[in-house]
């Protein structure tokens, strides 16, 4: 904190201590940390559920859990990872970094910021508690297709709907905060086309969130009234249509998957130039590509539903629109490669995660393109090929980018350099095990293994054993990450303000560790 602080502000700065400090905080850095710690806890809980799934699937036959509990695990694993791990992690990064990147003193709406974080633990407490109710928690898949989630589920549906509403409110408030901050609190001279790409991608993500979270809220509300209040939105017997549920859900669901990857693009576009010591290639085309992807995400939703029985014209439209997404996505990958080309490259931990991201996310992109081809999708749909696809884009995509971001900015947050050896172990263990985990899923999927089954035919046994071993290794590797971050928070070698020699951006102009209040006076942007 600087000496310029006035006495009135000084009184304002007096902090409650202990738990109250965290409960009442309106500081973007503290809330950012809360989000990140929360998402790490959720990542471990969701990961533990994945371990149960993989343990059951290690061998054919039922060994550990009954099919009903297995379905609860796949469902809650998905919900926790999407809404509890990936989304809050990005929001945490946005909280920490956006004000520092645009030279703002804090987020624009600090009290709402506090509120949007603190309702989250309650949402997930409700969701997780439903696992212990009579009949267990949600067992209808994270996509909660009606009528499985209405007529054919037990009362966990009510708790599930309530929890999703709270998560949605939290996301919307977070998104409003991001938009208002970026639009209003940019330092003088920080014009739109000077915004760091992480800020750009988050701005677009925030608009996606505001557009689709209400749609999700509508979907869960209709599920609730169908189950409890006699409506028939999704029940043909009362004039409704179960397929309409899927249209509404995926109208939310497809932009949602871009909500989970656009900030990742921003992170990679920040890290790759730093360690190539060269400006990002095609900055403006990156902005336009991100915007096109966001736009296209609204007109491709039915590619999740090719087998539901659509008219030929619908199938063709959604196939073509989906294929188009690979154009702007390709532009991004080419730009990253061009940034590295004739750079001066070094391989620090964030760079290693970023390179892994580029290769493995692109692999997920290729399987995505294959899935877009409707006739082939009839064969891939609802098999492990799809499971492989979305885990490549979400784990080696979104999650790897979050880890890259943490390794990139952690020294700025804590003022210490983490143990490079530990971080390298984490990287290589994760990198190897994640491919043992997800790559063979392509093969079992193509060979015909449906997803969401607790037991499988014998021809899938060998691959499933390998997948499970990869799963346990990947899960355990994340404990190295926890250890590495914990050690770094506790202490370590001090770092200079500009941690990485090739880094650019306002966040490197503030001291390390970043003090609680930065840019109380706006910096000047050249």
Tell me if residue 130 is catalytic.
no
What sign results for the dihedral spanned by CA atoms 229, 231, 233, 238?
Answer: positive
Please select the residue that binds other proteins; options are 110, 141, 492, 522, rule is CB under 8 A: 141
CB closer to other proteins out of 98 and 340: 340
The residue from 247, 451, 487, 517 that is catalytic is 451
Answer for the pair 493, 416: CB distance below 8 angstroms, yes or no.
yes
Cβ contacts of residue 26 below 8 Å, gap of 6+? Answer: 106, 110, 111, 113, 114
ω into residue 513 within 30 of 0, thus cis? yes
- Which among 28, 278, 304, 416 is annotated as catalytic? 304
Contact range with other proteins by CB under 8 A, out of 147-155, 205-213, 260-268, 507-515: 147-155
Give the CA diameter of the chain.
74
Residue 62 is a binding residue for other proteins (CB under 8 A): yes
Q: Who's near 193: CB < 8 A, 6+ residues apart?
A: 283, 284, 287
Does 318 engage in binding with other proteins (CB under 8 A)? no
Write out the binding residues for other proteins, residues 213-252 only, by CB under 8 A.
235-237, 241-243
CB of 346 to other proteins, least distance (A): 4
> Shortest gap between Cβ of 231 and other proteins (angstroms)?
13
Q: Is 505 near other proteins (CB under 8 A)?
A: no
**Nearest approach, Cβ of 84 to other proteins (angstroms)?**
21
Query: Residues 35, 258, 500, 508: which is the catalytic one?
Result: 258
Stretch that binds other proteins, among 13-21, 146-154, 257-265, 391-399 (CB under 8 A): 146-154
Selected catalytic residue, list 54, 186, 332, 412: 332
Whether residue 269 contacts residue 263, with contact meaning beta carbons closer than 8 Å, is answered with no
Residue by residue, DSSP assigns 273-285 as HHHHTSPPTTHHH
Site for other proteins in 271-290 (CB under 8 A): 276-285
CA of residue 68 relative to chain centroid, distance: 27
Angle formed at CA 34 by CA 28 and CA 38, multiple of 5 degrees: 145
What is the SS3 assignment for 151-215? CCCCCHHHHHHHHHHHHHHHHHHHHHHHHHHHHHCCCCCCCHHHCCHHHHHHHHHHHHHHHHHHH
Binding flag, residue 136, other proteins (CB under 8 A): yes
- Alpha carbon dihedral 291, 294, 300, 304, in 10-degree steps, equals 140
Q: Name the helix (H) or strand (E) containing 417.
A: strand 416-417
55 within 8 A of 64, measured Cβ to Cβ: yes
Q: Does 312 bind other proteins (CB under 8 A)?
A: yes
CB burial class (10 A; 0-12, 13-18, 19+) of residue 40?
A: buried
Our CB check for other proteins shows the closer of 8 and 458 to be 458
Out of 52, 148, 419, 525, the only residue in the binding site for other proteins (CB under 8 A) is 148
Q: Which is nearer to other proteins, 35 or 281 (CB)?
A: 281
Q: Among 12-20, 38-46, 86-94, 142-150, which window interacts with other proteins (CB under 8 A)?
A: 142-150
Minimum separation from the CB atom of position 434 to other proteins (A): 17
Report 329-388 residues binding other proteins (CB under 8 A): 330-331, 333-334, 337-346, 355, 358-359, 362-363, 366, 369-370, 373-376, 378-379, 381-383
Which one among 25, 33, 39, 71 touches other proteins, defined by CB under 8 A? 71
Report the nearest approach of other proteins to the CB of residue 389 (Å): 12
Residue of 153, 329, 339, 433 marked active site: 329
Catalytic position from the list 30, 56, 106, 235: 106
Please indicate whether residue 13 is annotated as part of the active site.
Answer: no
DSSP, collapsed to helix, strand or coil, labels residue 494 as: strand
**Could you say which residues in the range 12-41 bind other proteins, by CB under 8 A?**
none
Is position 77 annotated as part of the catalytic site? yes
Candidates 5-13, 270-278, 408-416, 425-433: pick the segment binding other proteins (CB under 8 A): 270-278
Please report, as residue ranges, which positions from 419 to 478 form the binding site for other proteins (by CB under 8 A): 443-444, 446-448, 450, 452-460, 463
Size of the site for other proteins (CB under 8 A): 96
139 makes contact with other proteins (CB under 8 A): yes
Least CB distance from residue 438 to other proteins, whole Å? 15
Environment class of residue 273 by beta-carbon count within 10 Å: exposed (0-12), middle (13-18) or buried (19+)? buried
Is 391 annotated in the active site? no
Which is closer to other proteins, CB of 1 or CB of 327?
A: 327
DSSP 86: I
Q: Work out which of 24, 320, 428, 486 binds other proteins, going by CB under 8 A.
A: 320
Verify whether residue 235 is a known catalytic residue.
Answer: no
Q: 68 catalytic, yes or no? A: no
Nearest distance, CB of residue 240 and other proteins, angstroms: 8
Handedness of CA 234, 240, 246, 250 (dihedral sign): negative
Of 219 and 333, CB closest to other proteins: 333
Q: Is 299 in the site for other proteins (CB under 8 A)?
A: no
Q: For every residue of 426-457, which 3-state class applies, written as one string? A: HHHHHHHHHHHHHHHHHHHHHCCCECCCCCCC
Query: Do the Cβ atoms of 59 and 149 come closer than 8 Å?
Result: no
Place of tokens 């009184």: 11
User: Which residue has 């899938």 as its token pair?
Assistant: 460
**Which lies closer to other proteins via its Cβ, residue 238 or residue 496?**
238
Question: Where in the sequence numbering do the catalytic residues fall?
Answer: 77, 106, 142, 170-171, 254, 256, 258, 269, 303-304, 329, 332, 451
């Amino acid at each position: 904190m600087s000496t310029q602080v006035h006495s009135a502000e000084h009184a304002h700065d007096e902090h409650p201590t202990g738990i109250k400090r965290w409960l009442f905080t309106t500081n973007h850095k503290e809330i950012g940390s809360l989000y990140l710690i929360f998402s790490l806890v959720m990542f471990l809980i969701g990961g533990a559920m994945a371990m149960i799934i993989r343990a059951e699937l290690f061998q054919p036959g039922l060994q550990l859990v009954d099919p009903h509990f297995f379905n609860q695990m796949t469902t809650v694993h998905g919900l926790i990872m999407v809404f509890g791990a990936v989304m809050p992690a990005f929001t945490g990064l946005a909280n920490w970094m956006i004000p520092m990147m645009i030279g703002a003193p804090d987020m624009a709406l600090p009290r709402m910021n506090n509120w949007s974080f603190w309702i989250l633990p309650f949402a997930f407490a409700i969701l997780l508690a439903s696992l212990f109710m009579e009949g267990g928690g949600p067992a209808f898949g994270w996509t909660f297709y009606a009528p499985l989630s209405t007529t054919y589920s037990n009362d966990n549906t009510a708790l599930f709907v309530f929890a999703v509403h709270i998560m949605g409110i939290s996301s919307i408030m977070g998104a409003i905060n991001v938009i208002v901050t970026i639009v209003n609190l940019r330092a003088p001279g920080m014009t739109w086309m000077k915004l760091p790409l992480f800020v750009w991608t988050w701005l677009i993500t925030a608009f996606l969130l505001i557009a689709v979270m209400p749609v999700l809220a509508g979907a869960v509300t209709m599920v609730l009234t169908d189950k409890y209040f006699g409506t028939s939105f999704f029940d043909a017997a009362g004039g409704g249509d179960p397929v309409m549920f899927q249209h509404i859900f995926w109208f939310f669901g497809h932009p949602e998957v871009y909500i989970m990857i656009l900030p990742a693009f921003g992170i990679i576009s920040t890290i790759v130039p730093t360690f190539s010591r060269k400006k990002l290639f095609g900055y403006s085309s990156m902005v336009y590509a991100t915007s096109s992807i966001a736009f296209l995400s609204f007109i491709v939703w039915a590619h999740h539903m090719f087998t539901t029985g659509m008219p030929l014209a619908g199938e063709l439209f959604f196939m073509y629109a989906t294929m188009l997404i690979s154009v702007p996505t390709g532009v991004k990958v080419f730009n990253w490669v061009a940034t590295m080309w004739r750079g001066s490259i070094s391989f620090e931990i964030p760079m290693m995660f970023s390179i892994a991201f580029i290769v493995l996310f692109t692999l997920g992109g290729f399987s995505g393109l294959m899935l877009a081809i409707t006739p082939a999708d009839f064969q891939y749909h609802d098999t492990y090929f799809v499971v492989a696809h979305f885990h490549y884009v979400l784990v080696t995509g979104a999650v790897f980018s979050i880890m890259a971001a943490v390794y990139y900015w952690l020294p700025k947050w804590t003022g210490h350099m983490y143990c490079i050896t530990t971080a390298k172990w984490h990287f290589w263990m994760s990198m190897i095990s994640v491919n043992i985990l997800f790559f063979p899923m392509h093969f079992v999927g193509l060979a015909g293994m449906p997803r969401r089954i607790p037991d499988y035919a014998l021809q899938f046994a060998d691959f499933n054993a390998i997948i499970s071993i990869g799963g346990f290794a990947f899960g355990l590797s994340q404990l190295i990450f926890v250890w590495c971050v914990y050690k770094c928070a506790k202490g370590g070698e001090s770092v200079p303000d500009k941690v990485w020699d090739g880094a650019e951006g306002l966040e490197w102009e503030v001291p390390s560790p970043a003090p609680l209040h930065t840019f109380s006076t706006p910096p000047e942007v050249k």
